[in-house]
């Protein structure tokens, strides 16, 4: 079964020097281009959604959306 899912992810960087430096090195100028940033992270988000969704039935996903969100 295939299901199309629309999702929004909010990502933040820990406010530490190491975390900011790591994010800057990893993302660099890609943050200036929404398309480049999407290409970089989209696969990781899709994988996370699939991994959690594969563990439960469709009805359970619908009934317990909050739990699904927390697991992803």
Please give the pLDDT value at position 59: 80
> Distance between CA 51 and CA 53 in Å, rounded?
6
Residues 6+ apart with CB under 8 A from 64: 56
Please give the pLDDT value at position 7: 83
Tens of pLDDT, residue by residue over 23-45, are 999 888 888 898 998 898 999 99
């Amino acid at each position: 079964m295939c299901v199309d899912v629309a999702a929004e992810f909010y990502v933040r960087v820990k406010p530490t020097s190491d975390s900011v430096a790591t994010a800057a090195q990893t993302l660099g100028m890609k943050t200036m281009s929404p398309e480049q940033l999407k290409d970089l992270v989209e696969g990781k988000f899709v994988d996370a959604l699939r991994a959690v969704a594969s563990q439960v039935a469709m009805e359970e996903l619908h009934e317990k959306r909050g739990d699904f969100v927390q697991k992803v």
